């Protein structure tokens, strides 16, 4: 079920080609050997060494305390464990906003000391100076817009972005500014699928999503959410794939032979295999458009969509047959895509209390 040979390493031109061909990219975060192994062995398109590692591996409450040295430790571990995968180092808070000089120095540490292929920076127009400096130094950069966890304080918490005309216009202007300074791709976090689709459609570079619905050029998920390995906070859009692969894991176990006959020391019969099967399922579901689908996308009310459509930046998108088949669809009930926030009544915010499933997911 899981291909054995490492595939060729991803390149920027392949990512662009995938966008053209409407083949969604599937990537994950990883921080240490245990998360790198399933990513590398299942041939994810890219690994993000996210500063989320500070929360899921080091126990910080937010990503803000994470340091460059901690990020480099994660990134080096990932490079050792996944030598064939395109690895992106996430610039932690304070490592690039301070000055273009700091930004270049720290980006180059990811490349030279940890062997990363690219770096990620949060922020749009207000960050173009440091980001341009990194690009000019010859380092590949992916931008991160929408909900940007390093500046949650300025958003008033973890709030879904891009739902209002003002918010959508700010994000697309940020995206154009980043494209102009030369980022190779953009990641959108926590926004409904239709405004995210507009941004993916209007940019030449690939636009990926984490909680941005199924109409973008690919998906990122935090490994610990995919595996259900971090319970303190899991946003609605993040699916735990373990329940889906329970049967496949049992079937695998039933086929690997009697431990009295197969060497107990070499028998692969544990969590390592389960992780791989789960990551493999995530990749398949992204490629076929099954994930995120409606269930793991943020909803948009009909009146909010109408307001968005009145934006000077909103474009008609010709509907053509797409590789991404199972994307969220408009329904008549006033909600455009169904999911979590619909159930908690606010439709705006996800936080720890959103860990309770909405009623429609309980049936």
Taking CB under 6 A as the rule, does residue 51 contact ligand KIV? Answer: yes
Q: Closer to ligand KIV at the Cβ: 283 or 308?
A: 283
Environment class of residue 275 by beta-carbon count within 10 Å: exposed (0-12), middle (13-18) or buried (19+)?
Answer: buried
Q: Residue 262: what are its φ and ψ, rounded to 5°?
A: -90, 135
Residue 292: asked if its preceding bond is cis (omega within 30°), the reply is yes
Distance CA 68, CA 92 (A): 6
Smallest gap from Cβ 343 to ligand KIV, in A, equals 22
Long-range CB contact pairs, 242-250, < 8 A, 24+: 242/274, 242/278, 244/278, 244/281, 245/274, 245/277, 245/278, 245/281, 248/1, 248/277, 248/281, 249/273, 249/274, 249/277
CA dist 223 and 179 (Å) reads: 28
Residue in 38, 50, 162, 343 binding ligand KIV, rule: CB under 6 A: 50
Q: Residue 292, interface with ligand KIV (CB under 6 A)?
A: no
When binding is defined by CB under 6 A, the residue of 45, 117, 189, 354 that contacts ligand KIV is: 189
Q: Is 210 in the site for ligand KIV (CB under 6 A)?
A: yes
**Does residue 90 touch ligand KIV according to CB under 6 A?**
yes
Q: Which listed residue (207, 222, 278, 341) binds ligand KIV by CB under 6 A?
A: 222
- What is the Cα–Cα distance from 43 to 62, expressed in whole angstroms? 29
Tell me which DSSP letter residue 156 carries.
T
Q: Which of 70, 179, 189, 197 is catalytic?
A: 189
CA 309 to chain centroid: 26
| Using rule CB under 6 A, residue 124 touches ligand KIV | no
Pair 171, 196: CB distance under 8 Å:
no
Considering beta carbons, is residue 126 or 315 the nearer one to ligand KIV?
Answer: 126
Regarding 174 and contact with ligand KIV (CB under 6 A), the answer is no
Q: Which of 174, 222, 183, 190 is nearest to 206 (CA)?
A: 183
Q: Is 61 a catalytic residue?
A: no
**In angstroms, how far is CA 342 from the centroid of its own chain?**
22
Query: Which of residues 10, 29, 175, 205 is near ligand KIV by CB under 6 A?
Result: 29
* Burial grade of 290 (CB within 10 A; 0-12, 13-18, 19 or more): middle
Closest distance between ligand KIV and the C-beta of residue 140, in Å? 16
Give the DSSP letter of residue 151: G
How near is the Cβ of 95 to ligand KIV at its closest, in Å? Answer: 13
Footprint of ligand KIV on 57-76 (CB under 6 A) = 63
**90 vs 197, which CB is nearer to ligand KIV?**
90
Q: Which residue, 123 or 335, is less far from ligand KIV as judged by CB? A: 123
Residue nearest to ligand KIV (CB): 50
52/106 with CB nearer ligand KIV: 52
Binding stretches for ligand KIV (CB under 6 A): 29, 48, 50-52, 63, 90, 149, 187, 189, 210, 220, 222
What positions carry a catalytic annotation? 189
């Amino acid at each position: 079920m899981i291909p054995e040979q490492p595939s060729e390493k991803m390149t920027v031109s392949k990512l662009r080609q995938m966008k053209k061909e409407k083949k969604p990219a599937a990537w994950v975060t990883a921080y240490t050997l245990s998360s790198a192994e399933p990513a590398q062995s299942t041939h994810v398109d890219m690994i993000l060494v996210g500063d989320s590692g500070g929360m899921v591996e080091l126990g910080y409450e937010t990503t803000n305390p994470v340091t460059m040295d901690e990020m480099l430790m994660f990134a080096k571990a990932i490079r050792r464990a996944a030598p064939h995968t395109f690895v992106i180092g996430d610039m932690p808070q304070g490592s690039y906003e301070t000055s273009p000089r700091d930004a270049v120095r720290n980006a180059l540490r990811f490349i030279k000391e940890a062997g990363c292929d690219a770096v990620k920076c949060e922020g749009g127009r207000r960050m173009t100076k440091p980001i341009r400096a990194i690009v000019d130094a010859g380092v590949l950069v992916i931008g991160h817009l929408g909900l940007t966890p390093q500046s949650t304080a300025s958003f008033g918490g973890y709030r879904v972005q891009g739902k209002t005309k003002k918010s959508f216009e700010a994000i697309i202007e940020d995206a154009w500014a980043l494209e102009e300074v030369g980022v190779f791709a953009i990641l959108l976090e926590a926004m409904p699928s239709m405004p995210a689709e507009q941004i993916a459609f209007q940019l030449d570079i690939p636009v990926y999503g984490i909680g941005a619905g199924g109409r973008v050029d690919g998906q990122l998920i935090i490994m610990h959410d995919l595996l259900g390995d971090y319970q303190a906070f899991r946003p609605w859009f993040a699916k735990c794939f373990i329940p889906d692969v329970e049967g496949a894991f049992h079937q695998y176990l039933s086929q690997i032979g009697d431990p009295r006959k197969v060497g107990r020391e070499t028998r692969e019969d544990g969590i390592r295999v389960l992780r791989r099967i789960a990551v493999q399922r995530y990749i398949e579901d992204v490629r076929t458009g099954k994930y995120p689908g409606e269930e793991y996308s943020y909803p948009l009310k009909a009146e909010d969509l109408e307001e968005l459509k009145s934006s000077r930046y909103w474009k008609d998108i010709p509907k053509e047959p797409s590789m991404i088949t199972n994307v969220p669809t408009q329904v008549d009930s006033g909600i455009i895509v169904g999911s979590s926030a619909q159930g908690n009544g606010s439709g705006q915010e996800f936080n720890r209390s959103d860990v309770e499933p909405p009623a429609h997911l309980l049936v």
